[in-house]
Structure 1
């Protein structure tokens, strides 16, 4: 029986994924509700499949994918998230994920993704769909977002949710000073004037 790790901070979501995977003849050997535990469980158990959200506490999902990939494990990663594929699917692919499924999709799509990645095939939104999802976004702002690092993008998303430096630092395991530095850098890179403007930018571009 193949083994799987589920990473999501919502118990009901984890339960739904577990039921689905068990129907596909997977043994769910562990669950994690945060990024730190996810990396630890992946290192300890080396599951064949990891199904994970991006929006998790204590290490952003993109950072988790990067760290698990760096461990050199054979685990296949499928991202199941509410985040828009317009800005996140390619980043997940570059970080090491093999699949990307929206939480708004039917469960059948997650099944297809799981089957695909276990055959060592990728499963991502079609490029033409990706383009249609992003065509409402100002092109210059879209390019600015593409030029942000994964960590900058994560912090921008947390700013848009109204989180303070202390909250962001605890979520991402950074110091308050480092978060402040990233805020200043974001204001500069996006040619904005304030933290309020950063939040408006993120909301306008549907980054949350």
Structure 2
């Protein structure tokens, strides 16, 4: 029996994904709205397919993907997210995802991706080479982003959204000191001067 798990914190999005999965003849569909719920549902139900958003409360979707594949390497994972594939698709591929669809696409793309994965194929968008990125500045900044760890990238996003260190620490189950250390490291790695410049950097590269 075809079973699936939808992981997204927006009820309307989960409902839309459920309609697509039902049209693809999935009989058992479970839902999770946060990273903390995922592993228990995976262990209990062992779904054949997980449709995973990258923007989740608590640990980000990238960390969920890594844990999920470590726990169940055979599970097929399809990323369905608003995050720019230019910065995230390769990371997800390396972490074990079999497909990546952005929410800006029509739902027909989600249908095609699910069909591909369940037939044993992958489903990823063709991305431009660094040499074809719009400007030398953005090309070099993409290289800096590519060198960040998944957790550094997740914290960068949250800092860029203006979240205080304390809030980020609580959301990610980290200490305040750890988040502060990451913030200092990000400022140094990305060659910016302040958290305001971190926000500008993130916005310029479509991370937020």
Is TM (by shorter chain) over 0.5? yes
Provide runs of 4+ in structure 1 moved above 2 Å: 130-137
Q: Is the 8 A contact 1:86 1:131 kept in 2?
A: no
The aligned counterpart of 2:34 is 34
Q: Distance in 1 between matches of 2:132 and 2:24?
A: 31
Q: Is the 8 A contact 1:77 1:99 kept in 2?
A: yes
Gaps of 5+ in 1: none
With over 3 angstroms needed to count, the CA separation of the structure-2 counterparts of 1:207 and 1:132, relative to structure 1, is farther
The aligned counterpart of 1:3 is 3
Q: Distance in 2 between matches of 1:153 and 1:133?
A: 23
Is it true that 1:100 corresponds to 2:100 in the alignment?
Answer: yes
Q: Deviations over 1:82-105 (max 9, x none)?
A: 000010011111111100001010
Give the C-alpha shift of residue 196 in structure 1: 1.3
Q: Deviations over 1:121-159 (max 9, x none)?
A: 11011134x769943562211111111111101110111
Is it true that 1:82 corresponds to 2:106 in the alignment?
Answer: no
The aligned counterpart of 2:148 is 148
The aligned counterpart of 1:161 is 161
The aligned counterpart of 1:135 is 134
With over 3 angstroms needed to count, the CA separation of the structure-2 counterparts of 1:133 and 1:62, relative to structure 1, is farther
Give the C-alpha shift of residue 168 in structure 1: 1.1
Structure 2 counterparts to residues 9-24 of structure 1, below 5 A: 9-24=9-24
With over 3 angstroms needed to count, the CA separation of the structure-2 counterparts of 1:54 and 1:133, relative to structure 1, is farther
Deviates further, 70-79 or 60-69: 70-79
Aligned residues: CA RMSD: 1.7
Deviates further, 191-200 or 80-89: 191-200
Give the C-alpha shift of residue 44 in structure 1: 1.9
Q: Distance in 1 between matches of 2:47 and 2:132?
A: 33
The aligned counterpart of 2:113 is 113
The aligned counterpart of 2:91 is 91
Give the C-alpha shift of residue 199 in structure 1: 1.2
SS at 1:138 equivalent: helix
Q: Distance in 1 between matches of 2:140 and 2:148?
A: 13
SS at 2:27 equivalent: strand
